[in-house]
Amino acid sequence: MSGAICHVTVRGRVQGVGYRAWVAEQAVSRGLDGWVRNRRDGSVEAVFSGPEDIVAEMIAACRRGPSSARVENVQAGTATSDLLNLRGAGERFTFLPTV
């Protein structure tokens, strides 16, 4: 199993419904590294790093989201370690400020 770093953007009713906290909880429970943040356009953006199959499982979970969210679209693509390293120093998974 090789590692993967994926950049994900989620659109729909995903702000103000606990989506970021849910993403962080799900990612940490799967042992993934990365970060999550809101975007001013109403989307949620995240980066996940870990074993390919676990990252794919996390992206599939993002398509469902928590019960309070309404996910309309998930875009996922390969990311670089530079994007992953936006997270807090020494942290495995973190919340970043809104951009």
**Which residues form the catalytic set?**
20, 38
- Alpha-carbon distance 83 to 73, whole Å? 21
Please name the helix (run of DSSP H) or strand (run of DSSP E) that holds residue 48, with its range, or none. Answer: strand 44-51
DSSP state at residue 65: -
41 residue type, one letter: D
- In the structure encoding, which two tokens stand for residue 79, read together? 């990311």
**Rounded to 5 degrees, what angle do the CA atoms 48, 54, 56 make?**
75
Tell the residue number behind the tokens 């996940």, with chain if given: 48
